[in-house]
Structure 1
Amino acid sequence: MESQTEVSTAPRYDSLLLAAAVALLVGALGSFYYFSGEVNALVRTLGLLAATAVALALAYKTELGRSVWGYIIGARTELRKVVWPSRQETLQATLMIAVVVLITALLLWGLDSLLLWGVKLLTGQG
C-alpha cells in the first residue's frame, strides 16, 4: 500500500516543482524588465542568472528533469564520437556539390529550351 501512495504523489510533487520552476523563471524575467530603469543592468542580469540556476535545480529534482539531463549527457557523449571532416575534405565535398548543381542546372536549362522550342513549333510561333 505504501508504494502506491508514493507512486501517486510523485507526479503531483514533480508537477509542483516544475510549476515552481516556471513561475520562478517568469517572475525573474518580469522583474528583469520591470526594474529596468531603477536597477543596474549587471545586477538584473545576475539576478536573472541566479533565478535560472535555481529553476534548473528545481526542475532537475523531477523525474522529467533527470531524464532530460540524461539525454543531454548521452548527446554530449555521442557528439564526442563524431569524426569531423578535415578542411580539405569539406572543401572537396563543397566543390563536388557545386559542380553537380551546375551540371543539373545546365541539363534542366537545356531540357526547358528544347521543350520551349517544341511547343513553339507545335503552336506555330516558332
Structure 2
Amino acid sequence: MNVSAEAGGANLDIAKLAVAALLLIGGIFAFYYFAAYSALLRVIGLLAISGGAAAIALQTQPGRRLWQFVSDARMEVRKVVWPTRQETVQTTLVVMVMVVIVGLVLWLFDMVLMAILRFLTGQGG
C-alpha cells in the first residue's frame, strides 16, 4: 500500500512539474507574441508567470530538495570567514608581483631558446 502511495505522489510531482514547464513555456511565448505592447508590461508578466511556475515546481519533492540544498548552501556561506580589506590588497599585490616575475622569467627563457635555435639553424647572421 505504501508503494502505491509513493507512486501516486511521484505521478503528482510529474504532473506539477509538467504544469510548471508548460506555464513557463506559455509565458515565454506570450512575451514574444505580444511584442507590440510595452516591454515593461511584458517583463512584469513574464516575471509573474515565472514566479508562479517556480512556486508550483517547489511544491514537488525535487523542488523541496532543491530548496533545502539552497538553504544549506546559504548557511555554509554564512560560516565562511571572509578576508579583510588589508588581506585582500596584500594578496592581490603578491599575485601581481608574481605574475610580473614569472612573465620576465618566461620571456628570458624564450629569448635564450630563440638564441639557441638561431645558432643551430644558422639564421643569426
Q: Aligned partners of 1:113 and 1:8: how far apart in 2?
A: 70
Map 1:70-109 onto structure 2 (within 5 A).
Answer: 70-109=68-107
Q: Which moved more, 1:90-99 or 1:115-124?
A: 115-124
Q: Aligned partners of 1:121 and 1:42: how far apart in 2?
A: 68
The alignment's TM-score, normalised by the length of structure 1, stands at 0.87
Amino acid at match of 2:57: A
The percent of aligned pairs where both chains have the same amino acid is: 44
Amino acid at match of 1:10: G
Equivalence for 1:116: 114
Q: Aligned partners of 1:28 and 1:119: how far apart in 2?
A: 64
How far residue 40 of structure 1 moved from its aligned partner, in angstroms, is 4.1
How far residue 68 of structure 1 moved from its aligned partner, in angstroms, is 0.3
The superposition leaves residues 50-82 of structure 1 with CA deviations (integer Å, 9 ceiling, x where unpaired) of 222221111011110000000110111111111
Alignment root-mean-square deviation, CA: 1.6
Q: Aligned partners of 1:116 and 1:46: how far apart in 2?
A: 61
**Selected match of 1:55 from 47, 53, 56:** 53
Q: Aligned partners of 1:32 and 1:80: how far apart in 2?
A: 37
SS in structure 2 of the partner of residue 68 of structure 1 = helix
SS in structure 2 of the partner of residue 85 of structure 1 = coil
Mark the runs of 5 or more structure 1 residues left unpaired by the alignment: none
Q: Aligned partners of 1:4 and 1:34: how far apart in 2?
A: 44
Q: Aligned partners of 2:70 and 2:9: how far apart in 1?
A: 23
